[in-house]
Chain A
Amino acid sequence: MLKEVIHGDIGESYVKAVHSSGLKIYILEKPQYNSCYAIFGTKYGSIDTTFSVNGETTSVPEGIAHFLEHKLFESEDGDAFTKYAKTGAYANAFTSFDKTCYLFSCSNLFYENLEILLNFVQSPYFTKETVEKEQGIIGQEIRMYDDSPAWRVMFNMLLSMYKNHPVRIDIAGTTDSIANIDADLLYKCYNTFYNPSNMFLCIAGNVEADKILKMVESGIKESKPLEIERIKPEEPEEVLKSEVSQNLAVAQPMFCFGYKLPYEKMPSVKDRVCIEILLEVIAGDCSPLYKKLMNEGLINDDFSFEHFCGDGYNAVIFEGDSCDPKAVAEEIKAEIERIKNDGINKKLFSAIRSGLYGGAIRSFNSVESCAMQFVDCAMNDISLFDELKYLKSVTMESVLKRLSLLDSEKTVLSVINPLKED
Chain B
Amino acid sequence: MSNKIIPLNDGVEGLFIQNNRFNTTSISFNFYLPMKKSTVAVNALLPFILTSCGKDYPDFTALNLKLNKLYGARLDASCEKYGDCQLLRMTISVIDDKFSFDSDSLVLEASELLLKLVFSPNVENGEFAVNDVEREKRKAIEHIRGEIAEKRVYAKNRMISEMFVGTPYGIPKCGTVDDVMAVTPRSLYDAWQNMLETAFVRVHVVGAAVPQRLFENIKEKFEGINRHDITDCKVCKPAQKSDKVNTVFEKMDVKQGKIVMGFSSDMYGDDDLSLPLLVMCDIFGGGPYSRLFTNVREKMSLCYYCAATSVRYKGLLMVDSGVETENAKKAIDEILNQLEIMKKGEFLDSEFESSIKSICHSMKTYYDSQNSLDLWYALKINNRNLYSPEDIIEMIKAITKEDVIYAAKGVNLHTVYKLLPKEGVIC
Contacts and interface: CB of A to CB of B under 8 A. Distances in A.
Interface of A: 10, 30, 32-35, 81-82, 84-91, 105-108, 133, 136-138, 140-141, 143-144, 146-150, 248-252, 254, 284-288, 290-291, 294-295, 297, 300-302, 321, 347-348, 351-352, 354-359, 361-362, 364-367, 419
A81 B293 CA distance: 11
A152 to B, nearest CB: 10
A138 B302 CA distance: 10
Given A143-B255, A286-B65, A321 B288 contact: no
A365 B22 contact: yes
A290 to B, nearest CB: 7
Nearest to B288: A81
Contact of B60 (A81, A140, A294, A347): A294
B20, B70, B361, most chain A CB atoms within 10 A: B361
Contact of A361 (B71, B148, B302, B356): B71
Nearest first, the 5 A-B pairs at minimum CB distance are: A88-B357, A358-B71, A358-B72, A355-B68, A251-B145
Contacts of A352: 68
B65 A348 contact: yes
Contact of A81 (B151, B289, B301): B289
Interface string B49-64: 0000000000111001
A362 B99 CA distance: 10
B23 interface: yes
Contacts, number: 195
A146 B255 contact: yes
B330 interface: no
B358 A90 contact: yes
Given A107-B365, A300-B138, A352-B68, A251 B304 contact: no
Interface residues of B, number: 70
Nearest to A205: B368
Contacts of B426: none
B73 A248 contact: no
Given A32-B20, A33-B367, A106-B361, 7 more contacts: A33-B368, A86-B357, A107-B364, A249-B148, A249-B252, A285-B61, A361-B95
A181 to B, nearest CB: 15
Contacts of B358: 85, 88, 90
A354 B143 contact: no
Interface in B317-370: 322-324, 350-351, 353-354, 356-358, 360-362, 364-365, 367-370
Given A144-B256, A254-B149, A107 B361 contact: yes
A291 B60 contact: yes
Contacts of B93: 362
21 contacts: A34-B365, A35-B364, A105-B365, A108-B361, A141-B304, A150-B150, A250-B146, A250-B148, A287-B61, A290-B61, A297-B138, A301-B143, A302-B146, A321-B142, A354-B68, A354-B70, A354-B71, A355-B71, A358-B72, A362-B24, A362-B74
B373 to A, nearest CB: 11
A365 to B, nearest CB: 5
Contacts of A300: 138-139, 142-143
B21 interface: yes
A144 B360 contact: no
Nearest to B106: A358
B361 A88 contact: yes
Contacts of A302: 146
Given A143-B324, A249-B253, A290-B61, A87 B22 contact: no
